[in-house]
A and B are shown apart, each in its own frame.
Chain A
Amino acid sequence: MLSLFIVTVLSVGAFEAGGRVGVLFPGSGLENSHGTAAVFDLGIGYRTNRSHFALAYGYSGLGARQAGPYRLELNELSLGYLHELFRREAPSGMASNWGFELGAAAGYSLLSRTLGSARETGGAPAGHLTLGFFQRQGHSRLALSLDNLLFLESQPAGGAGALSLTYLPALKGGIAYVF
């Protein structure tokens, strides 16, 4: 039964692995003291006809707006789902197709703030809402996306109740190899 399932899965879809780079913009008040930062993602995924499941690791480090030894670092692991909303199939004789996709993901970020030798660490769950453009040619798949990250934090148990939402938009572009 299991082998039948695996054969079925492998016959209708494809695995892919790739990376993305981009720019992370501070929001929700972070922009008052933090600058924009580069963001790097590495991911593996499984794709069927129009659906795509992905496990991704992302890293970004936001510095202070003025030069200094301060840094806010985010290391995130997320699991997400993307769906191709529109796909323009390649005409016969051409090898590429393109389209737009919408996705959502949930993840957990390990956070650290450092200022010289001082360091605070923590973590926060995060949600992603992604809208992107893709272009597929042969085994390569290019993507350009707007990734909206929403972090949810709450006061640890025992403290006064408080909930904090932090929004960080990111523009990312990347390439994946489709096996």
Chain B
Amino acid sequence: MSSRTAVINGLLASLLALVGLPGCGDMTLYRAKSDYFPLIPGSRWTYQVGTSLAIDSVANDSSVAGQACVVVLRDYAQEYWVKQTTSLRRFNRITLNRGGQDTVIEARYGLVYALPLVEGATWAESFRDTVVLLGTDTVFLKDSLTARVAAIEEVNTPAGAFIQCYRIDTHREVEAAEASFVADYSEWLAPGVGLVKRVTGTEERVLVEYQPGF
């Protein structure tokens, strides 16, 4: 057998073995290398929310509170996101009105997702502060979030079927006088796409169209 034939035979044998094995893999590396929250300018997500449509898009880079961030238009309202290797943070801004004047009681980047996403991972963050308004009104502020990567699922939406989605169950609790709220919601993040479905106690938001940015 010539050396060329031997090498070709070896390569073919390896190729056949490789091609014969698909189905054994379970996309572990695919999840490891995928971006589950792409913040690429020009990206646009259209969601069905009840009977109406909502549009999210990535506008541009900016700087808020002394930190470089990405501006996301969520239903045309500006949000500021910071993406790092270990976390995705959104700028939380909570205001209270006293005497006809809005006063900011929280303005910081709060943890939304801890990265990388791994099934079973949990994270939590709690921010506490005491703010005195108009010199006399003391407001106690607590903004806490706990979340868990609950499952890896396939999600069917009007925009198509998305495989290897992480379902993230989140509980957020804000205590801030009349701005207090509690929110429990589940989100499905698809590789290379981002949020494809979000379910709260009262609302379901599903992706109907996605246009990737450049």
Task: List residues of chain A with CB under 8 Å of any chain B CB.
Answer: 28-30, 32-34, 50-51, 64-66, 68, 70, 72, 80-85, 102-106, 108, 111-129, 150-157, 159-160, 162-164, 166
Contacts and interface: CB of A to CB of B under 8 A. Distances in A.
A29 B23 contact: no
A152 B116 contact: no
A64 B27 contact: no
A17 to B, nearest CB: 21
Interface size class of B (residues with CB under 8 A): 35 or more
A161 to B, nearest CB: 9
A-B pairs, 8 with minimum CB distance: A153-B25, A122-B28, A106-B17, A118-B120, A125-B21, A81-B10, A29-B33, A124-B25
Contacts of B6: 50-51, 81, 83
Nearest to A114: B118
- Chain B residues touching A, majority SS: mixed
A126 B15 CA distance: 10
A66 B87 CA distance: 11
Contact of B31 (A70, A120, A157): A120
B1 to A, nearest CB: 9
Contacts, number: 157
B32 A164 contact: no
B167 to A, nearest CB: 14
Contact of A151 (B25, B31, B85, B122): B25
Nearest to A154: B22
Given A81-B9, A120-B152, 6 more contacts: A70-B118, A80-B10, A104-B10, A113-B31, A120-B28, A122-B27
Query: By CB atoms of chain A within 10 A, which of B14, B121, B152, B154 has the most?
Result: B14
A36 B23 CA distance: 28
B10 A127 contact: no
Contact of B23 (A106, A127, A156): A156
B3 interface: yes
A64 B23 contact: no
Contacts of A29: 33-35
Query: By CB atoms of chain B within 10 A, which of A30, A108, A155 has the most?
Result: A155
A85 to B, nearest CB: 6
B11 interface: yes
Contacts of A118: 118-122, 149
A155 B13 contact: no
22 contacts: A33-B116, A34-B32, A64-B86, A68-B86, A82-B10, A85-B7, A112-B28, A113-B116, A122-B27, A123-B24, A125-B18, A125-B21, A127-B15, A129-B11, A152-B18, A152-B21, A154-B25, A155-B27, A160-B154, A160-B161, A164-B30, A166-B29
